[in-house]
Amino acid sequence: MRTRIVLLILALALPWAPLLAAPPAEPAPDTMQARVMGCAACHGAHGEGTDNDYFPRLAGKPAGYLFNQLVAFRDGGRSYPPMNYLLAYLPDAYLKQIAEFFSQQHPPYPPPAKPTVDAATLALGKTLVMNGDSKRNVPACAGCHGASLTGMQPTIPGLVGLHANYISAQLGAFRYGTRRAAAPDCMHDIATRLADRDITAIAAWLSSQPAPADTTPAAASPLPLACGSVHN
Ligand code: HEC
Ligand code: HEC
């Protein structure tokens, strides 16, 4: 792991500009482009994600959401050592530029995963995502993540194009508080109302959905539950 990190740091320091399609806006090699190349090993050159079944897609998520995550990795609200290491000490203004960059990328989505669970489990996943479960006070995920699950401006991510392993790990991290967002942390509240079986079902159903034709995040609208990370 240490060698990997050292290589990544080296990658960050090299002038990669010639490998990028767009010409640099500034005459001097821009560290923004170098930084983004350092991210490509895991997230793809345009934030499309990689074949690794955990590394998440970044492309097209609202810039406000991506910025909040970069701040969380830098300041400790989220933990993944290579990312905590890469982002340590970077100023907010710089993280905003990185967030803007990935929010404006629109590479194709991966083909949907073949579900490995039975039909009843998939059906449960779909019901929870689209309708929630009022008996357990679980709001529909689509109420915040957008009717077509492409996210909502300015700070809610799309749930399409993510791997099942990543989705279930994030729901577990919200539940146990190892991933934290600003209070009230709506995802913590929701994740603690879900059973393990629900999380498996949700992750399986979401990851098996093709991306809709229009993947633009939905416009801001009132939420079914307060989220401290959402400022409309
Ligand atoms: C060694 C692989 C690796 C590298 C290099 C890497 N990331 Fe990540 N990144 C990950 C993983 C894995 C996660 C999910 C971590 C978790 O929460 O478990 C992640 C999460 C993220 C997220 C949150 C995504 C979401 O949907 O919530 C953002 C934003 C992000 N990375 C941006 C970057 C940027 C910008 C760089 C380059 C400076 C970078 N990453 C470099 C592996 C990497
Ligand atoms: C009340 C609004 C709301 C509802 C309802 C909601 N979410 Fe979220 N969700 C959010 C917000 C806000 C974030 C971003 C939190 C942060 O900044 O870390 C988020 C983040 C996530 C993430 C992390 C995505 C990533 O790329 O890392 C997952 C996964 C997720 N939600 C799944 C769900 C599921 C599944 C449901 C339904 C059971 C659901 N959410 C319902 C508001 C909501």
CA of 44 to the centre of ligand 1 (A): 11
Closest residue to atom 39 of ligand 2, CA basis: 141
Q: What percent of the chain has pLDDT over 90?
A: 80
Q: What is the mean pLDDT of the chain?
A: 88
- Ligand 2 atom at minimum distance from 129 CA: 37
Ligand nearest to the CA of 199: 2
User: How confident is the model over 149-177, as pLDDT tens digits?
Assistant: 999 999 999 999 999 999 999 999 999 99
Q: Residues 154, 162: contact at Cβ < 8 Å?
A: no
Give the side-chain half-sphere CA count within 13 A for 134: 2
Per-residue pLDDT averaged across 115-122, rounded?
96
- Ligand 2 atom at minimum distance from 180 CA: 18
- Compute CA 166 distance to the chain's CA centroid, rounded to the nearest angstrom: 9
Record the tokens describing residue 48, joined without a space: 């499309």
Ligand 2 close to Cβ of residue 70 (< 6 A): no
User: How confident is the model over 50-91, as pLDDT tens digits?
Assistant: 888 899 999 999 999 999 999 999 999 999 999 999 999 999
Q: What percent of the chain has pLDDT over 70?
A: 85
Per-residue pLDDT averaged across 203-231, rounded?
96
